[in-house]
Structure 1
Amino acid sequence: MAVRWIAPRFGGPEVLTLVNTDVPPPGPGEVTIDVRAAGVNPADYKHIAASRGTDRELPLPIGYEVAGVLSAIGPGTEIASGGGAAGDPVVAFRISGGYASAVTVPAKDVFAKPAALDYPAAANLLLAGTTAAEALHVTGVAKGETVLVHGASGAVGVSVLQQARELGAVVVGTASEHNFDVLRRFGAEPIAYGPGLLDRVRAAAPEGVAAVIDTVGTAEAVDSVRELLPDASRAVTIVASDRSRAAGITAIGGNMPASAAYRDGVRAHLLELAADGRLVVPVTRTFPLAQALAAIDLVRGGHPGGKVALIP
């Protein structure tokens, strides 16, 4: 018997209910994971919102990424990184129902956990990391280029900073002043939000920026594209809006088929970077699994100061 959070109806986090559940044994192509940590992401509570449409089958599970230990493996099955035996530490991403003490999931979404990451960090690596990787891919950021990242101190932003550094790109990032040290830690030039932003960008990047990555969706971020890029083909947002669509900015999201395919394909590469210590995940706080609503409240507040994990 395990426990997991479900949404018996559509709505906000308040509809979530912690229930006892049987964990089905893994069939061919499946494994069972005893969860040690579950990542908490805005996508989790957005998944259960009525605004996403009500054509999904209730009750809805919640949670896309976990880290844990293999407890059972289906017949003739290997995990995505190869092999796999009971007791092996693993990480799983794009699964369903990660807010649980145990889950049975497709083996194609399960990889060996990098020893360099503890369970809370590993459980928060891939959703933000694959989003960041896709943003850099879509904008075509290359060695020697300068990229402007809006919201650079957030989870996706911090991953963008590290992956851009791997590409040899230069990053100018917007953030609140109290987060400037976070940007400097990962090699970015920090600049403040607010009036005068464009002047500060031009001062930090006198030769101009080659691409813009928007992780916040503000009018300021969207409008900067119009001013700083000759066209919007090298701009991307993870927060689509009427304003960004009117500006011609490409939107990406895990529910889009092209985004999902790219993100699935880049998981192994990001795990290799993490294993080598070249991609880290700052974790600010952990909560017991039973306190998932408090964890979600912290993330919904918009300034958690790092990633948040649930610990069964």
Structure 2
Amino acid sequence: MINPQIASEATKKNIKTHPIWFKLKHNKMTLIGFLILFAMIVLALLAPVLTPYDPIKINVAEKFQGPSFRHLFGTDEVGRDILTRTLFGARLSLGVGLLVIIIAACFGIFIGAVSGYFGGIIDQIVMRIMDMLLAFPTLILAMALTASLGPSLHNAMIAIAIVEIPIYVRLARSETLVLREKLFVKSAAVFGIRPIPIILKHIIPNAVSPVIIQATLNVGNAILMIATLGFLGLGAQPPTPEWGSMISIGWKYLLDYWWYPTFPGIFLFLTSGALNLIGDGVRDILDPKSNR
């Protein structure tokens, strides 16, 4: 029989040696999220190999065919294979969602660090602008910006990045207000190092942890916003294979051809759910204040 004290000591040793892996291994929902996301990435990368069809080629002779061995997810109103378009749509949604959050986080952490470090009038101006952006519902503001810029995927990406930036600015600023009082930051200023190098080399590297946590939580939301703008006709334009635009067209045929909007919707649901599970897990692992 295993001595409980020895087992407890071994467990503590594993926690100290591999703290991140130990926490991840015991968080089943996060592991499920990683497995789903990994499957989605593999399907997206292998899309040209897994399906012989062209995602935008029209074949009217095969329109509205139900799921079968020839077309596992059926076909759409112009005979395009829905499985093919869904897999290629995964490429677009995952790539764009991740890119938008990276852009927003990079700009946000720099602006927030500059605002928090300098303080005064610069801080007041920056934070009032951020408050103005946060005063509007995120999706409504993204819709308004995309509509003013013009309906397209690139403009949708710009709009979503803009509405996400204030979140990271506030996070980075709050961390910077604490860090600028630390001895190593004050010492760097005393030795004549200019403010921008201090911000880049001393402030941002130490303020990045909460930004990473927030970014992992926001990737799923970004994918949903891209799909929503596509659904409203403000994002990716036909014939680009994108989940939101596919659902937007397919819901009109839901009663007669249920497979059209259903399968892209399932992929969108699974991907956003997996990313939210991963975000919760990363927060639990990296945030020392989390007791979950």
TM-score by length of 1: 0.24
The structure whose residues are more often helix, as a share, is 2
TM-score by length of 2: 0.25
Q: Greater Rg, structure 1 or structure 2?
A: 2
The structure whose residues are more often strand, as a share, is 1
Greater relative contact order, per chain length (Cα 8 Å cut-off, separation 6+): 2
